[in-house]
Structure 1
Amino acid sequence: MAASSSSSVQAAKQALSDRLRELCRDAGLEGKQLAALCGWHPSKVSRISTGKTTPSADDIRAWCRACDREDQTADLIASLRAVEGMWVQWHRMERTGLRRAQESVVPLYERTTRFRSYSPNFVPGLLQTFQYTEDVLRAVQRRRVIVDDVADAVAVRMDRQRVLEDGHRRFAFLMEESVLGNGLGSAETQAEQLEHLLVVGALPNVSVGVIPARVERPRMPVEGFWIYDTVQVNVELVSGYLTLTQPSEVKAYADTFAELADIAVYGAGARTLIRRVRDSLG
């Protein structure tokens, strides 16, 4: 698994290594004895026990077998999969195309009632028009995905926008002013997208905030992220997709969102910025 500085990932890895170490201790085995039973070098047991190395599913099977606790194998492998799911590199997530990546978040969207999104680069997916989405995903596909299923991926993202129609859900979108004129697609595509922002932003359950380019900031710029209720944060990084569920980290992103929300403009102020960029497109 790719290394990540996220404390959520590190905490989950450490919890898994702790459980394996406990099995070894409860079985009355020393590290060297366990290594001999598994056919490993003793250093491998040490690295897994301390969390320096993430075990494979086969490693866990061998470990449990040596400790005579094969009844724990399935549960520990499930924990391993959870750790692996926290950090997913783009090439792994998108190896079969972009549609799968779009579909993977549908259950999360369906069970979430409060969405918060900060975007420093693009209009958030739930607010994108068809053509804007196609241009975004086409750019992604050309840069890093061999399989061309952009049309299917766009269809999934468009269908996902149905959640906006549910009046029981609440949506708060923050984006940098530079997002409004990032030059993505043709002038016609950009104008259509900006007009769509004006329409969607008028929905009673949707808040669209724009952070002016010239404004005093409480912190340095941060990466784009989504907060789902108060239980999960997803962050899109250059190399992969990070899922955070540790309460302290979810709170850190919620606090960051609140700080950014305080310097954004809404309502008439946001509409003025959007229209100004739209009109500049000619």
Structure 2
Amino acid sequence: MSPSSPHPGSDRARLATKLREIRAATGQSGNQFAKSLGWPQSRVSKIETAAQFPTGEDVTQWLAAAGAATEEGAVAELLRRARVESVSFRQEFRKSGGATTQQRSVLELERQASRVATFQPALLPGLVQTPGFMRELLALPSGPASTGGASDTDVEHMVAVRIERQAQLYEPGKAMPLVIGEAALWIRIGDLETQLGQLDRLRSLVGLRTVDLRIMPFSTPMPIAPLHGFRIHDRDLVIVETFAGEHLIMDPDEVAAYEHMFDRLQAEALAGDEAAQLIQSVSRRLTNDY
């Protein structure tokens, strides 16, 4: 599984094209080149079409098999730049379909994956948000209207697709584990009624096998620095969202590092009844403090 086909001018596409050109210069077909590497032919094809991101070792073997040591510097630079692909919301929203198409691309990536693991230190993820919470969140100055130029109609369409995405939480065989920092339970988005409704929704998901919802309480030392949230798709892709867009991380070594951090978070976070009790405690305290 990989992100949608890269733009022809992207570094990921340039890397794939460069490797294809290096292989073609040997006079070997993709199948012949794969045999010289000891790889399945499909692996060569996927790398050449940017459907699979090569590791540093893959590139080293590729250049050695092609006798292209002189290309090492150029390919290494392309690989370095292609490891993280940046997507601008403003640019994406200008395309046909605008914000709705961008949100559907998120849905499609999730559908392709059998497992999407999410960590959010201070914000409830879209997969568990109520419609009321979504609308309040998207209306903030950090939302798509300000950062991407989305219209009110675009925002309503985004809400509809986010709701559609949530059907995956109940699909047999799907895994959507979530680790959320306790701060996300407290940070107010909208009025008290919206926040309490959101916490009720969250509590209803505790114990759902596909979700494996866990909460990192303030009382437990963080096992990693909670610099930002992230999503891991099938151990192949990490997505880090910012105010202005997303960073797509495809380098296998870096994805493995994020997977290790998620495992550490899961091991320390509260699950099951303990998670439900913490959510209920926050709801009570919010009500009493109002």
TM-score (norm 1): 0.70
Q: Which amino acid aligns with 1:177?
A: E
Letter paired with 1:236: E
In the other structure, the counterpart of 2:147 is 144
The one-letter code matched in structure 1 to 2:89 is: W
Between the aligned residues of both structures, percent identity stands at 27
Structure 1 residue aligned with 2:87:
88
Q: 1:52 to 1:109 in 2, by over 3 A?
A: closer
1:232 Cα offset (Å): 1.6
Measure how far apart 1:13 and its partner are: 7.6
Q: Aligned AA for 2:121?
A: P
* Unaligned 5+ runs, structure 1: 1-9, 27-48, 55-78
- Separation (CA, whole Å) in 2 of partners of 1:234 and 1:103: 15
> Paired residue for 1:186, among 183, 191, 194?
191
Question: How much does 1:198 deviate?
Answer: 1.0
Partner of 1:221: 226
- Which fold has the larger relative contact order, with Cα–Cα distance below 8 Å and residues 6 or more apart in sequence? 2
1:280 match: secondary structure: helix
- Summarize deviations over 1:141-171 as a string: whole Å, max 9, x none: 3431323111111001101111112121122
* Match runs of 1:33-182 below 5 Å: 50=74, 86-95=85-94, 97-139=98-140, 140-148=143-151, 149-182=154-187
* CA distances 1:16-37 after superposition (whole Å, capped 9, x unpaired): 58559959x99xxxxxxxxxxx
How far did 1:213 drift? 1.5
Q: Which moved more, 1:140-149 or 1:182-191?
A: 140-149
Shift of 1:91: 1.8
How far, CA to CA, are the matches of 1:51 and 1:271 in structure 2? 50
Q: Distance in 1 between matches of 2:227 and 2:200?
A: 27
| Number of residue pairs matched by the alignment | 224
Secondary structure of residue in 1 paired with 2:176: strand
> Matches of 1:227 and 1:53 in 2, distance apart?
25
What residue in structure 2 maps to residue 260 of structure 1?
265
1:218 to partner: Cα distance: 2.8
Aligned counterparts of 1:13 and 1:145: Cα–Cα separation in 2: 25
Distance 2:144 2:243 in 1: 14
Cα 1:16–1:278 shift into 2, 3 Å: same
**Equivalent residue number for residue 15 of structure 2:** 15
Comparing 246-255 with 14-23, greater Cα deviation is found at: 14-23
User: Which residue identity does 1:211 align to in structure 2?
Assistant: M
Contact 2:147 2:244 in 1 (8 A): no
One-letter amino acid matched to 1:252: A
Residue 274 of structure 1 deviates from its aligned partner by 0.6
In structure 2, how many angstroms separate the alpha carbons of the residues matched to 1:122 and 1:108?
21
Residue 209 (structure 2) pairs with residue 204 (structure 1): yes
- 1:108, 1:143 → 2: CA distance? 25
What is the letter of the counterpart of residue 259 of structure 2? A
> 1:13 touches 1:51 (CA, 8 Å); kept in 2?
no
Give SS of 1:206's match: coil
Pair 94,214 (structure 1): closer, same or farther in 2 beyond 3 Å: farther
Secondary structure at 2:87 match in 1: strand
User: How much does 1:265 deviate?
Assistant: 0.8
The 3 A distance-change label for structure 1 pair 84 and 259 is closer
SS of 2:177's partner is strand
Q: Is the 8 A contact 2:178 2:214 kept in 1?
A: yes
* Cα pair 2:188 2:195 within 8 Å, conserved: yes
Query: Residues of 1 paired with 2:191 and 2:109: CA distance?
Result: 32
Cα deviation 1:162-220 (Å, max 9, x = unaligned): 11121211221001100001111111011001001111223232211111123223332
How far apart are 1:238 and its partner, in Å? 4.0
CA displacement at 1:85 relative to structure 2: 9.1
Query: What do the CA deviations read for 1:34-70 (whole angstroms, capped 9, x no partner)?
Result: xxxxxxxxxxxxxxx847998xxxxxxxxxxxxxxxx
Gaps of 5+ in 2: 1-9, 27-72
The TM-score, its normalising length taken from structure 2, stands at 0.68
Alignment check: 8 A CA contact 1:123 1:180 kept: yes
- 1:116 corresponds to which letter in structure 2? A
Tell whether 2:278 aligns with 1:273.
yes
Deviation of 1:273 after TM superposition, in Å, equals 1.4
